[in-house]
Amino acid sequence: MKRNELHVIYGTNIEKMTYELLTKINLAKDLKPNMRIALKPNFVVAKEASSGATTHPEIAEGVIRYLKDNGMEHLAIMEGSWVGDQTKRAFKVCGYDKLATKYNVPLYDLKEDQYVERQVEDIKMQICRKPLLETDFLINLPVLKAHCQTGMTCALKNMKGCLTDAEKRHFHQLGLMKPIAYLNTILKPQLTIVDAICGDLTFEEGGNPVHMDRPDCRR
């Protein structure tokens, strides 16, 4: 797959569609069995994906199954919910605890992770250690939805879950746009699969989902 190439697939069998997307782009050719691969979903709040707020577990399952079928074993799922919610609760509510048990994939709550400081231009930021330093291949699994401050939220903003809670607050104080752009010069996912199954087109915390029935894949 060439970089900056976009693939879109429609349907309702979410896991199957995701697997087919990765097969179509032949992701396996860019991977090595010893790679540490992390999946970064969106669990801004502890709500089921049907609410339009969070990443469908079927998308993560399609990715995990494809990776394991192609010999990848060093997998992990990493996320840090927003300041007012608990990541571990989101793992359970969103069905990722069952997914982790089924495929023996560890779940990492980035709220409990150590952080390293990085500076871009005039902004110094606290970034969680695992996605930055302990991951060889980062797969971004954002949800396409609206946002009260930025208008929309998707791939770039999903990286904010890799910050400490203090830094998340700081980003909001800075207006989000500029610091998110800066963050993505440091954290650069090698693959993004956008969950556009039923994102909420009015609010990032869900409640008014709009069915589009599509995952989009981009590198």
pLDDT in tens, 49-75: 999 999 999 999 999 999 999 999 999
For the segment 119-146, the average pLDDT, to the nearest whole number, is 97
Strands 123-128 and 115-120: antiparallel
pLDDT in tens, 68-118: 999 999 999 999 999 989 999 999 999 999 999 999 999 999 999 999 999
- Name 96's Cβ contacts closer than 8 Å, sequence gap at least 6: 41, 43, 57, 60, 77, 90, 107
Nearest to 35 by CA among 71, 79, 66, 78: 71
- Name 4's Cβ contacts closer than 8 Å, sequence gap at least 6: 218, 219
pTM, two decimals, is 0.95
- CATH 3.40.50.11440 is right for the domain spanning 6-218: yes
